[in-house]
Structures are given as structure tokens and as C-alpha cells.
Structure 1
Amino acid sequence: MKKIVITGAANGIGKATAIACAEAGYYVIAADKDTFGLRDLQQRIPVHQVESHVADFSKPEVYQSFIGNLYAHHKALHGLINNAGLYHGKSVYDYSDAEIEEIWAVNLKSLVYLSKDFAWHEQSAKHTRSIINITSVAGEVGSMDALYGATKAGVIGLTKANAWNFAPRVRVNAVSPALIRNTSIHDRIPEHRRKEYERQELIKDPIEPEGVADVVMFLLSDHSRHLTGKVIAVDNGAYPR
């Protein structure tokens, strides 16, 4: 059974992806700081297909050791989905120094360590491995939350660079969602911004976390075996590139 690591797995896109992975026959290693969310996830996946880890990826002692600790118990991992992220939805003027450090760590810095540690362990793998980073349209077109937009832009840059760094054994791609309903981020977006996002959507079928999970599953599969260094938008056509 192929093993997939998912950060931020307790809610939203991460949770939908974890359930989709289990349904596809993967073994899910779910990580999040939300203990109650992880418990709910475990009830939705067969016990033999899931393990959970309470982990706060804002802390260096966590993201610098997390992947290495997994390899003490797992011989090989097939995929890493870097989904954990923070969004405050406020002006850069309102950020405290502590909040700046936290969002930098969770949204970008932790991905550096998790990705390089995963790739290092799998660089000699017989079959191709996959890293999938969850970025945001905010990283491509900007955001009223400057720190969120800046970190998500960094994720796009990291994705492209690591596609070079980790080739040929590890593919690295990113998914770039726009307005995704039923997520904690959606509820924090100011109403006037949500209405503007909705106005720009060419397809009027609201995007749910499961819709993003579908794209993640494609990138995990052999159907995307020729793709690396790519950023795939899930935005209902709102932002033509």
C-alpha cells in the first residue's frame, strides 16, 4: 500500500484529500495541530489505512524533524502533500511580529524542510515519487493579505526550483485554488472580496474542497507522470493566465 503524507489534513482541502487518498487505496499519514479534526478524520477512514500525528508546523523543532521521524517507522513514502497553511485576511499593518514569523514558517519555510527531507530519502527510489504543494491564486495575482500572498508566491517559486533540484526521481507540482467553499480560509475572506471572486468565475459551479482533491489525486497518479514544475489552477476560470 503506497503511503501519502498530508499536512493540514484535519480540515478543508487536506481532509478531502486524505479521504480521497484512502478511497483510492493509499495509506494516509495525516498531520495537523487540530486534534479534534484528526479524530474526526480517523473515523472516516478504515483503521488500517490511516495514522495521525498532532504537529504544529510553525515550530522549527517540528518541521525540521517530522519527515525524518516518519522514516524511522516507514521504509518508503510515495507522496508528500504540503497543504498546511495560514490565512488571516487582514492588512499588513495589522500583523504582529509573531504573526509574521508564524505565517512565514507554516506557509513556506516548513515546506523547504519537509520537501528536501522527503526528496533526500527517496532520491534512489525505483519508482517516481511526488510532492504536491498547495499554493493559492493569491500567489499569482496578489492578495489584500500581503503576507499570505507573498508566502504563496514563494510556494510557486519553491515548486519550480525543487522540480529541478529533485529530478528525476521526485516530481514536484503545485495546485493553485481560488475561492474554495467550506474551508476556514473562505470564512475569513471579507464579504466584498468573496463577491468579487465569485463575479469573476466563468464556471458557476461552486468549488468545494473535493474539487481540489480531484486535481491532487491526478498529480499523485501515473496519469501526470510527465508533469513536474507545474502550477495547476483550480479557479473556475476566474483568472486566465
Structure 2
Amino acid sequence: MTTSPPTIALVSGGSGGIGAAICRHLAAAGHTVLVGYGGNRDAAEKVVADCASAEAVHLDVTDEESVTAAVARAAELGTLAVVVNNAGVADDDLLLRLDPTRFDRTLEVNLRGAYLLSRAALRPMMRARHGRIVNIASIVALRGNPGQTAYGASKAGLIGLTKSLAREIARKGVTVNVVAPGFVETAMTDELPDAAREALLGLAPTGRAVTADEVAAAVGFLASDEAGAITGAVLPVDGGAAM
């Protein structure tokens, strides 16, 4: 009796906050998880310790060789079934004070990084005629937020990438979707100016922040077989803020 190779879930930015919760959720669903990290291996190893089957893998989404190596490692371990483009940065400022270098860096990580990783993952997924790509955007892409022009532009671009790619590969058994969180308490949101934090929290009719586990649950659903008929969708997890 032969056994099927393990299904691999590769998560960029998997070492903290939302990424860590996504890794734990996908591991609990039975995947072997590659916890992608850019610089903090110790944090990634802590996430690995929380998962039934996982491995830390260096994944700098701005470096094509690093991306290719991470996807190759997934192929060594099993069948790449899930890719979550979660790596992101937020360099917030009013547009008049935001120089081009800072703007470009935000797009390089948040948008170009998702392009590189999705592109690298497509061939093995298309050969298997099965795959789930889930991109982590933001409510800021849907309704904007003062001081977050670069971040909002990168995440809105990610939604456009998702919808076009979903149409390109829909007949190959690969779905591409977006989860758009509202305000989540993470190390990255801790760095937001007070005014930006209060503005985001004030948008939600629920009056509270979203938890990382709630975002992870949405990702887990879109990564599941039950979500096979859903592609090109944007799923807000925001306490109703995008209504």
C-alpha cells in the first residue's frame, strides 16, 4: 500500500503575528507547514514548535533566488498545496513626507513579493491540477486610511493581482483568493501612529480588534477542499468595517 506524499503549506512572513496563527491553523488541518521567515529564525522556530509538522525556511520575498529555493524545498518534502502571501511591511506617513524609496520598498515587499512567490508556486500546482493561493491584503485597500497611501496602494494592487491571476488559472484547479483583515493587534500595528490606530478601530461596528486566529480561520477555509468553488474573492475579516 502506497501513501500519498504530505501536502505542504508555504507561508511567507510566518514567524510572527498573523503569519504564526496561519501556520498553526494550517498545521492543525494536516499540512506540513514551511514557516517562511525573512530575518528572525528564532521566532520561526518557536512557531515550528507549536505545529505538528513544520519546518522553518528562509524566505526573503524580495529575492527571487530565496523564493525559488523555498518552493524547491516544498517540492522535496511533498506536494505544494497551499501558498499564503502574508509577508508585509507598513511604512506609514503622509504622502508629502513619504519619499520614493520608502514607497517603492512597501510595494516591493507587499506586492512584488506576492508576485514572485505566486509565480514560483504556479508550475507545481498546475502540474498537480490543485492548489490554493491566499493573499493577505487589508481593509485599507478597500476604503483607505490617512497616512497609509503606500500600504493601501500595495494591498489594493494585491487584490488586482489576485483577481486577474484567478481568471488565468481557474481551469487548472488552482484558486486564488484574498483575506482582508481589519485592525489586528500585532507587532506591526503596534508601530502605527495613535491616530491611525484609532481610525482603524473606529471603523468596525463590533468596536474591537480582530484576532490573528480569526484571520487564520478564514485563510484555513479558503485553503480547504471545501472552498474549491471560490476564487477571485475578497473575504474581509474586519468586524464589519468594510460594509
Aligned pair count?
Answer: 235
Alignment of 1:36-47 (within 5 A): 36-46=42-52
C-alpha displacement at 1:238, in angstroms?
1.3
1:186 aligns with 2:189: yes
User: Where does residue 59 of structure 2 map in the other structure?
Assistant: 55
Task: Say which SS state the counterpart of residue 76 (structure 2) adopts.
Answer: coil
**53, 69, 72: which one pairs with 2:72?**
69
Q: Which amino acid aligns with 1:5?
A: L
Alignment of 1:86-97 (within 5 A): 86-97=89-100
Q: Which amino acid aligns with 1:190?
A: P
The question of whether the paired residues in 1 share the 8 Å contact of 2:182 and 2:209 is answered with: no
Paired with 1:164 and 1:174, the residues of 2 have a C-alpha distance of: 14
Task: Say which SS state the counterpart of residue 78 (structure 1) adopts.
Answer: strand
Q: Which amino acid aligns with 1:7?
A: S
Q: Which runs of 5+ in 1 are unaligned?
A: none
C-alpha displacement at 1:55, in angstroms?
2.5
User: Where does residue 85 of structure 2 map in the other structure?
Assistant: 82
Paired with 1:52 and 1:21, the residues of 2 have a C-alpha distance of: 14
Give a deviation string over 1:7-65, Cα, whole Å, max 9, x none: 0000011100101111222110111112221121122223xx111112222334433x2
Q: Which amino acid aligns with 2:175?
A: R
TM-score scaled by structure 2? 0.89
**15, 18, 22: which one pairs with 1:13?**
18
TM-score scaled by structure 1? 0.90
Q: Which amino acid aligns with 2:27?
A: A
Task: Say which SS state the counterpart of residue 4 (structure 1) adopts.
Answer: strand
C-alpha RMSD of matched pairs (Å): 1.8
Q: Percent identity, please.
A: 28
**22, 29, 33: which one pairs with 1:24?**
29
Q: Which runs of 5+ in 2 are unaligned?
A: 1-5
**195, 203, 207: which one pairs with 2:206?**
203
The question of whether the paired residues in 2 share the 8 Å contact of 1:67 and 1:114 is answered with: no
Paired with 1:42 and 1:71, the residues of 2 have a C-alpha distance of: 15
Paired with 2:144 and 2:203, the residues of 1 have a C-alpha distance of: 15
Paired with 2:133 and 2:21, the residues of 1 have a C-alpha distance of: 17
